Structure 1
Amino acid sequence: MFGGLTSFTEFKATDWGERMLNTVISQTIRHLFSQSDSIDVHVRCHPSSKLLQGSIDGFKMNGRGLVIRKEFAVEEMYIETDAVVIDFSSVMSGKLSLKQPTQSIATVVLSETGINDSFQAELVKKRLVNLDLPSLIALSGGNPVSFTELKVELLPENHLHILAHADLSSGGLIPLDFTVNVVIEKRRRISFQNPLIHVDELPAAQRENSQALSIALVKILDNMVDLDRFDLDGVKMRLNRLETQDKQLIFSGYAEIEHIPRTSQS
């Protein structure tokens, strides 16, 4: 009888601990985003008594409607970790602390609408407006150049169709229209390659400038998306694959987690 009572008590304790851990992980992850429609967490621990020693087999997280830094929308994010050793006493205080690093696989889904909205973010706009690069100055007669009204259409087989305008200040607006292939480089960069520039519909007087400015914009975009610039504190992310599917851009890869980020990236 006493053995049965002990087992029942341990079961209740671990069941309660698992629910608390689910809640703490959910809250910890939620606080990394400016906004989240839903974040679901499921802890894997067998036997469940290991939880009392802070050892779990891993956890899965699925988040939808996430916003990073108040301006970058993520349609969906899925994370599944390897085995995790936590400081269970930190869970009791509503925090999550790792005793040793762990790894996770991750999938991130961006929508075409979210990608286009990101071009209005200040972090992105400052890299597209009032540019005084020598190659651009030569085309604008000495004035800074701005790339405006960027619009991306996701195409099959990892291609993007991009429309934009180049504002040459005194030289007026030059329409830009091109298609590029997006690939992963060194598991951390999104590279824009093999541009196919469309100028046939433009007036003859604008075609040469549109060609040159399109190539310049491709180079700017090619240097813009580097994961090392977006790593969270204590988290190193790497990409294995990307694909365009319908109106979504899907990334899959992994993250090395040394510790739970101490500061919000929201």
Structure 2
Amino acid sequence: MFGGITGLKDPKGTDWGERMLNTVASQTIRHLFTKSESVEVFVRCYPSSKLLQGSIDSFKMNATGVVIRKDFPADEIFVETDAVSIDFSSVLAGKLTLKQPTQAIAKVILSEEGINYSFKAELVKKRLLNLTVPALTQLSGGNPVSFPEIQVELLPENRLRIFAKADLGDRELVPLDMTVTIAIERRRRVSFKDPQIELDSIPEAQKEISKTLSVALADILDNMVDLDRFDLDGVKMRLNRLETEGKQLIFSGYAEIERIPRTG
């Protein structure tokens, strides 16, 4: 069996263990995404004999143009670990299984377009439609309140401009326009703070209710983006920093990897 594996060595002298691991890891990682433009995996294991004991020097993954859970696109995801302990027998079976949990530094880049696409996801819409929060139903005469349209514009200094419409059920849609500051809380939540309500473009008759609904929407969003709701099975993301840069929102932090998930 091992003679067949060592035959993987190419004319350039690429280490057989690294080649095999790169192939298996690439196949495993691709299955985590609904779609992907590119998934590049670089596994360092030298000398190859270390692989027999399940020891890897480092693991890097760079994925671009990916979609997670069908509805959440990311421009780029980068992950890098130090030494990792794996089950060598799983590699021979075409899988990648960890012997023990590990941590990796991680970076995720979202585009403005991708963020707006995510607002159409069922997981997000169910937290924005047919709401029966007392503070909102008082405004709607007891009817459920929905926010069926939300558009985000990324601004410098970690700010977002949010254009939305509120449906009170028995009247025309109420337009909303505000700017919020986003930040990280407890390394897993994205907070939406300090809403600045813009009323210049709002019809006079709707200004007061638009202001009230904008504050309510900011509060809903502030309690909605928790990474624990989006974790892959066996992987937890923790954030250290976020920043807006042009039309991109960049997160950096680390991943706690208990096991390699089979699907995204």
TM-score range relative to shorter protein: over 0.9
Give CA-to-partner distance per residue, 1:62-116, whole Å, 9 cap, x none: 0011101111101100000121011111101101111111110000000000000
Identity of aligned residues (%): 70
Shift of residue 26 of structure 1? 0.8
SS at 2:139 equivalent: helix
- Give the whole-Å Cα distance in 1 for the aligned partners of 2:58 and 2:51: 11
2:16 touches 2:48 (CA, 8 Å); kept in 1?
A: no
- Give the whole-Å Cα distance in 1 for the aligned partners of 2:263 and 2:201: 47
1:33 matches 2:55:
no
Structure 2 unaligned runs (5+)?
1-5
1:111-150 map, 5 Å: 111-150=111-150
1:74 touches 1:110 (CA, 8 Å); kept in 2?
A: yes
Shift of residue 155 of structure 1? 0.3
1:249 matches 2:249:
yes
Q: Which moved more, 1:225-234 or 1:47-56?
A: 47-56
Match of 2:224 in 1: 224
Shift of residue 202 of structure 1? 2.2
1:161 matches 2:153:
no
Give CA-to-partner distance per residue, 1:7-66, whole Å, 9 cap, x none: xx7995982221111011111111011111110011123444322322111111000111
1:85-234 map, 5 Å: 85-234=85-234
SS at 1:79 equivalent: strand
Q: Which moved more, 1:176-185 or 1:69-78?
A: 69-78
Match of 1:4 in 2: none
SS at 1:139 equivalent: coil
Change (3 A) 1:11 1:165: closer
- Give the whole-Å Cα distance in 2 for the aligned partners of 1:229 and 1:28: 22
- Give the whole-Å Cα distance in 2 for the aligned partners of 1:31 and 1:87: 19
User: Once superposed, what is the RMSD of the aligned Cα atoms?
Assistant: 1.7
- Give the whole-Å Cα distance in 2 for the aligned partners of 1:65 and 1:185: 27
Match of 2:263 in 1: 264
Runs of at least 4 residues of structure 1 off by over 6 A? none
Shift of residue 239 of structure 1? 0.2
- Give the whole-Å Cα distance in 2 for the aligned partners of 1:167 and 1:257: 41
- Give the whole-Å Cα distance in 2 for the aligned partners of 1:35 and 1:11: 29
Match of 1:57 in 2: 57
1:46 touches 1:57 (CA, 8 Å); kept in 2?
A: yes
Give CA-to-partner distance per residue, 1:197-225, whole Å, 9 cap, x none: 01133233211100110011011111111
Equivalenced residues, count: 256
Query: TM-score, normalised to structure 1's length?
Result: 0.92
Structure 1 unaligned runs (5+)?
1-8
- Give the whole-Å Cα distance in 1 for the aligned partners of 2:255 and 2:138: 43
- Give the whole-Å Cα distance in 2 for the aligned partners of 1:12 and 1:93: 19
Query: TM-score, normalised to structure 2's length?
Result: 0.93
Which amino acid is 1:26 matched to? S
